[in-house]
Structure 1
Amino acid sequence: MYIEQAFKGRHELWRYILGVFVTFGGSQIIGSFILGGALVLKTMSGESVDLSNPMDILRIYDPNIMLVLMLVPFALGLLGLYLWMKPVHGVPFKVLHSAREKLDWKKVFFSFAIWGLISILFIWIGYVMAPEDYQWNFKPVPFAIMCVLSVVLIPLQTSFEEYIFRGYLMQGIGAFARNRWVPLVITSLIFGLMHITNPEIGKIGYIALVAYIGIGFFLGIITLMDEGLELALGFHAANNLFIALFVTADWTAFQTHSMLKDISEPSVGVEIFFPLLVVYPILTLIFARKYGWTGWKEKLFGKVVPHVQEDYVQSEI
């Protein structure tokens, strides 16, 4: 089973905590250095940047340049996690994929396609119901460049987040706690709180964290029920990619050359709670029916018992 994959290697909790600091923390430090360097270059050119305003910082360069600066650290973090697994845990990176022998790409693409279609539908409904809230933002050349950059970099960003939260931490905390609900709760909360510095939190308020924590629970549940990351990988990639391609706003983390720009004043409304209470449960049931999920209580709340031989000396590095 998925969490039990951790027992194939060296699985003391300190290794996972250190791994998160090295890979995820390292990627964020690199990102801070990149952004800091960009700010220095911009100020040296004589331009004034309000360092107290996150949105002003995000607009210091062309959106395509900023997209690269923001996403490259995540790609490096994914590479770091890949290189971390074998020497520190004694197992290949693929143990984070799933309990299956190989990554099931059909599941990745199915999840990507279904959430991509739903995302486009929601954007279209929003535009039809309130066209005055949107501004046509399409510029062929910048949009084409953004498409290429997004298709390459956004899946790396979202995959890193899935591998570190629903993969690495889920397995590490589960192996330590010896149950499934503790890693589900902890990784969902950490995933949500990770977004606390996003510009939209400052604009809407901390209530917006409910959406991120809710997404964390949804992705954690489908990972545990399906015994693998594939569905979460596809969903997360589609979510970020289609937002980047189709709609942006001055108050969001992703500033892109999207087709539409949301010019409405952000507020807390049905758009936060409707997906959590209606859309994600329905999508979970669709996945459950398609892939024949059973044993919900055991997979979400059951004990984690090693089903593989623990061949490694726990004190060994």
Structure 2
Amino acid sequence: MYIEQAYKGLSESWRFILGVFVVFGAWQIFGGIPLLVALIAADAAGTLVTGDLGSMSEALGSNTFLFLMLLTFAIGLVCLLAYVALVHKQSVTSLTTSRKKIDWSRIFYAFGLWASISIALIFLDIWLAPEDYAFNFKLVPFLILTAISIIFIPIQTSMEEYFMRGYLMQGLGILTKNRWFPLVFTSLLFGMLHIFNPEVEKLGYGILVFYIGTGFFLGILTLMDEGLELALGFHAANNLTAALLVTADWTAFQTDSVYRDISNPVLGWDVLVPVFVIFPLLLWLFSKKYKWRNWKERLTGKVLTREEFLSQENG
């Protein structure tokens, strides 16, 4: 009963509605101040040519820009957890999982599994189409990138998971008293929030199939496993491998990675295969490992009232 864990804190509707605006506003305003100050300084020095990601990354240096961009998520996560603790009086554990304590083995298993698959797929593509990649490795920038990525990318992905699949999933479930609406809403919202990524401008709106599909995959993981642990591990592995191994001039992460994708980007099978082949296979694998049952009830069933939940907890 992951959604019902919200009842372990104060769960009135106004707290969730206010929380969305307070947390998102604080995340965007306070989180963006360091990056904004750096960009203003770069503009004053004449090194910032345009306002696109590539120009900002070049003006500040790719590692500095990545650090400041990821710092916004760190500040956002602090704001979210502070609001949950102070206004909802809810613990981090109940925001994370229905288990008595956070299951770190689940996080590491999902991380290791998806990191291994991602690395294999990346190097397979490099082997199949070496003309699409340029070796980009520079030791010192890469070491700095690695340090920044290992520390801050899991924070970035955790902010997205705790806000989307955690706070919003629980809040919408409590408000609507069902599971399907928060699953659909958070998945669509997760996809649509990527609409401003440079990948969308380059590849077109078809790329949103991947982002929305990923949102559904992570939402299903959360509801079926009754906790965020698998989603936290998967998301961190996905972004970390992308940042360290391959970059391109048209992606959100422009880093000093090992390889640079120099191909002319097109919307192809690499968007559809993860959503319609790999993700379903991963769900099957997780379901076998963790013995998931009652798919329909967990994904579309009703959410208990506070009284029903507390009665079961005390029963």
* TM-score w.r.t. length of structure 1: 0.94
Identity over aligned pairs, percent: 52
Query: Is 1:21 equivalent to 2:21 in the alignment?
Result: yes
Partner of 2:300: 301
Is 1:24–1:164's contact at 8 Å kept on the other side of the alignment? no
Q: Post-superposition shift, 1:31?
A: 4.2
Partner of 2:144: 145
1:185-221 residue CA offsets vs partner (Å, 9 max, x unmatched):
0001111111111111111111111111110000000
Partner of 2:133: 134
Distance 2:265 2:18 in 1: 38
Partner of 2:172: 173
Is 1:31–1:69's contact at 8 Å kept on the other side of the alignment? no
Runs ≥4 in structure 1, deviation > 4 angstroms?
A: none
Q: Secondary structure at the match of 2:310?
A: coil
- Determine which structure has greater relative contact order: mean sequence separation of CA pairs < 8 Å that are 6+ residues apart, divided by chain length: 1
- Give the AA of the match of 1:188: S
Query: Is 1:10 equivalent to 2:19 in the alignment?
Result: no
- Give the AA of the match of 1:257: D
Distance 1:186 1:233 in 2: 19
1:102-124 residue CA offsets vs partner (Å, 9 max, x unmatched):
11000000000000001001101
Is 2:48–2:56's contact at 8 Å kept on the other side of the alignment? no
Question: Where do 1:21-170 residues align within 5 Å?
Answer: 21-51=21-51, 53-170=52-169
Distance 1:218 1:81 in 2: 23
Q: Which moved more, 1:27-36 or 1:101-110?
A: 27-36
Q: Post-superposition shift, 1:227?
A: 0.2
Partner of 1:315: none
* TM-score w.r.t. length of structure 2: 0.95
| Number of residue pairs matched by the alignment | 309
Is 1:246–1:259's contact at 8 Å kept on the other side of the alignment? yes
Is 2:56–2:65's contact at 8 Å kept on the other side of the alignment? no
Q: Secondary structure at the match of 1:196?
A: coil
Q: Post-superposition shift, 1:179?
A: 0.5
Q: Post-superposition shift, 1:134?
A: 0.3
Is 1:199–1:253's contact at 8 Å kept on the other side of the alignment? yes
Q: Secondary structure at the match of 2:270?
A: helix
Is 2:48–2:55's contact at 8 Å kept on the other side of the alignment? no
Distance 1:199 1:38 in 2: 21
Q: Post-superposition shift, 1:49?
A: 1.1
Partner of 1:313: none
Question: Where do 1:217-232 residues align within 5 Å?
Answer: 217-232=216-231
Q: Secondary structure at the match of 1:251?
A: coil
1:24-57 residue CA offsets vs partner (Å, 9 max, x unmatched):
3322223443333222211211335123x34323
Q: Secondary structure at the match of 2:253?
A: coil
Distance 1:257 1:213 in 2: 28
Q: Post-superposition shift, 1:90?
A: 2.1
Change in Cα spacing, 1:190 to 1:13, as seen in structure 2 (3 Å) is: farther
Q: Which moved more, 1:299-308 or 1:229-238?
A: 299-308
Distance 1:124 1:10 in 2: 48
Question: Where do 1:253-264 residues align within 5 Å?
Answer: 253-264=252-263
Partner of 1:284: 283
CA RMSD of aligned residues (A): 1.4
